[in-house]
């Protein structure tokens, strides 16, 4: 794993939660005041440390003006639950990247709300939600989601939703191309929602944007036709029904136009007026187009740099970056997974944890917690706090393993490799911990956790160097320990 040596000033500001800002972007080392960066394997850890952060360091958390919640693994960490927990304390919840390829579930009483494009904060009637310029939006899917959640009792969704005029539109043609690519070029495990082809059109500078929907309808139809013509040449076996797409899209114009606004101005005015903002990341660090396990990644920057480029807010305004980590590891679709378990233990994790994707329904692959991944994710994002989810899923296991390093051909690796072929060959180095063999679901404080569960959390804190401030121990809204 990585041993990151910071200055005393940085440690006090970051780990103890008194930070007022940090630098972010596309540099993989994001925190300020780093005096030395040592990439030393920590494979000498043979047992859980006696302590992590002291009780005096486990103080009650106050919301900063801008807080970012990001996935630290391969997605499906339970970000929606953490966002839901924090959203009641803020004025605005915003999405900055991705599309309806992401899925978050929020449980309120007996009702399960599934969100794909809508920020999870929409469940609070006094919270405004923003879909930023970095998000790509399939309009029919957006309104299917709106109407589905309206039927479950959510009100005022459209009145409280701002969609960036700079956000790009996912057309039906993009979805057809996504499916064709999966068939013809070999599966990358995409959701076939058209996300990658839309970002490709964005980079080619010929795509449809939300602002276009405010102008001439004929101009919109011409852009749809131009995209379909381009795709028809590249995919002659597919049918791109321009008139059908236009007719479908036209039926939503009266509903979406009132939501389309200058989101950059909206967000920066909100910052200037002292409004509190929660940014809800989609996907996760290991799916980031630059830093993830390429090519088995998504098509956007789902690390902290994507917050600034996807919402148009300055990096100096961001106060907190919360990394959400599942107590074990999962990933859906193809791609390397060093700690994957294909045995009965992996099957049990999936069964107990109900590991099926919210967006696709696909069964997730399961494995042990990988602190090499988490340390790498922290290096890129500069987490100020961690939120651990689904600790209760480990309640019945007699023994637990945690990956604390990688070996390749007998040599310890100092960092997470970029080359996919190397990742396929690495050998995880495990620290074995005793399981607690009792339920944690009723626990509501860190002190109530069994000693073995505390040791599991403390190992994570010690290796990564970031305080765990939330621990999920059940599915319901109140099944979270604040530490």
Residue 92 to residue 268: CA distance in whole angstroms = 12
- Nearest Cα residue to 474 out of 62, 116, 85: 85
Query: 292-298 contacts: CB < 8 A, separation 24 or more?
Result: 293/74, 293/335, 293/336, 293/420, 293/423, 294/418, 294/420, 295/188, 295/420, 296/188, 296/189, 296/333, 296/334, 296/335, 296/336, 296/420, 297/335, 298/98, 298/101, 298/195, 298/196
Taking the CA atoms of the chain, what radius of gyration do you get in angstroms?
22
Say which residue the tokens 């320990």 belong to: 481
Q: What are the helix and strand counts (H, E) for the chain?
A: 14, 22
Beta pairing class for 329-331 and 320-326: unpaired
The catalytic residue positions are: 76, 104
Which residues does 72 contact at the CB level (< 8 Å), separation at least 6? 284, 285, 323, 324, 325, 373, 374, 377, 378, 381, 383, 386
Evaluate whether 456 touches 473 at the Cβ level (below 8 Å). no
- Nearest Cα residue to 287 out of 231, 326, 336: 336
Evaluate whether 282 touches 97 at the Cβ level (below 8 Å). yes
Evaluate whether 124 touches 278 at the Cβ level (below 8 Å). no
Strand partners, 167: none
Evaluate whether 4 touches 32 at the Cβ level (below 8 Å). no
* Alpha carbons within 13 A on the beta-carbon side of 25: 6
Q: Which helix (H) or strand (E) segment is 113 a member of?
A: strand 111-115
Evaluate whether 125 touches 111 at the Cβ level (below 8 Å). no
Residue 173 to residue 143: CA distance in whole angstroms = 18
* Cα 106 from chain centre: 15
């Amino acid at each position: 794993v990585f041993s990151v040596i910071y200055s005393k000033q940085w440690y006090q500001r970051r780990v103890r939660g008194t930070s007022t800002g940090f630098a972010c972007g596309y540099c993989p080392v994001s925190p300020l005041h780093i005096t030395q960066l040592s990439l030393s394997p920590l494979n000498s850890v043979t047992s859980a440390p006696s302590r992590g952060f002291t009780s005096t360091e486990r103080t009650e958390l106050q919301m900063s003006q801008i807080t970012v919640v990001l996935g630290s693994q391969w997605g499906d960490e339970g970000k929606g639950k953490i966002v839901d927990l924090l959203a009641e304390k803020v004025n605005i919840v915003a999405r900055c990247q991705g599309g309806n390829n992401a899925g978050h579930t929020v449980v309120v009483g007996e009702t399960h709300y599934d969100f794909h494009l809508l920020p999870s904060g929409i469940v609070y009637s006094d919270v405004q939600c923003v879909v930023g310029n970095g998000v790509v939006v399939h309009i029919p899917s957006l309104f299917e989601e709106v109407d589905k959640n309206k039927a479950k009792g959510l009100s005022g969704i459209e009145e409280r939703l701002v969609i960036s005029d700079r956000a790009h539109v996912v057309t039906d043609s993009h979805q057809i191309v996504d499916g064709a690519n999966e068939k013809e070029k070999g599966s990358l495990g995409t959701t076939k929602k058209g996300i990658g082809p839309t970002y490709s059109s964005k980079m080619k500078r010929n795509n449809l944007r939300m602002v276009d929907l405010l102008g001439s309808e004929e101009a919109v139809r011409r852009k749809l036709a131009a995209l379909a013509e381009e795709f028809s040449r590249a995919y002659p076996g597919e049918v791109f029904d321009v008139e059908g797409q236009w007719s479908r899209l036209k039926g939503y114009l009266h509903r979406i136009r009132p939501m389309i606004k200058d989101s950059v101005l909206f967000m920066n005015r909100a910052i200037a007026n002292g409004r509190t903002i929660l940014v809800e990341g989609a996907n996760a660090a290991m799916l980031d187009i630059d830093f993830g396990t390429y090519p088995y990644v998504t098509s956007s920057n789902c690390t902290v740099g994507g917050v600034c480029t996807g919402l148009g807010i300055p990096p100096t305004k961001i106060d907190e970056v919360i990394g959400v980590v599942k107590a074990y590891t999962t990933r859906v679709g193809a791609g390397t997974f060093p700690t994957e378990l294909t045995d009965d233990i992996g099957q049990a994790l999936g069964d107990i944890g109900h590991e099926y994707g919210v967006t696709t329904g696909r069964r997730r692959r399961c494995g042990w917690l990988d602190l090499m991944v988490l340390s790498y994710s922290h290096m890129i994002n500069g987490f100020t706090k961690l939120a651990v989810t689904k600790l209760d899923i480990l309640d019945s296991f007699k023994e637990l393993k945690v990956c604390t390093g990688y070996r390749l051909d007998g040599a310890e690796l100092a960092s997470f490799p970029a080359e996919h072929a190397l990742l396929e060959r690495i050998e995880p180095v495990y620290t074995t911990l005793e399981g607690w063999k009792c339920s944690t679901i009723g626990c509501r404080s860190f002190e109530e956790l069994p000693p073995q569960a505390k040791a599991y959390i403390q190992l994570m804190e010690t290796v990564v160097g970031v305080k765990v401030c939330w621990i999920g121990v059940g599915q319901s809204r109140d099944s979270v320990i604040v530490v």
